[in-house]
Amino acid sequence: MGAEKLDDNVYTILHMKTAISLPDGIYYEAEKVAQYLGISRSALYLNALTEYLKKNNRKNITQKLNEVYNDDYYKEFEPISNAALENIRELTKNDTW
């Protein structure tokens, strides 16, 4: 799947044809929604799957960031953070709040 370049600024989108099995209720509900929206069933499924993949990709990004910035990451900077905190305490020890 992707795009095939025909000319300098002309592309055609390649599609993968697939078959899926759905419960009858989901199929008929999707038919109603597609008709209501005035789009094809394929367009409805494409839109739904695209949104699902975007949502789950964001979850994957969050998971990867959590793995990078785990406790070990923060432990590396703990001495610096503690020193900064002590400096702030020293600088503000006579301040009235």
Domain boundary assignment for the chain: 21-91
* Higher per-residue pLDDT: 8 or 71: 71
Contact 49, 43 (CB under 8 A): no
What's the pLDDT at 5?
A: 56
Annotate 1-32 with DSSP letters as a single string. Answer: -EEEEEETTEEEEE---------HHHHHHHHH
Q: Would the pLDDT of 2 be above 60? A: no
Rounded Cα gap, residues 31 and 33, in angstroms: 6
| Tens of pLDDT, residues 65-79 | 878 777 777 777 777
- DSSP 3-state of 89: helix
| Tens of pLDDT, residues 37-62 | 999 998 999 899 988 888 877 778 88
Q: Report yes or no on whether pTM surpasses 0.75.
A: no
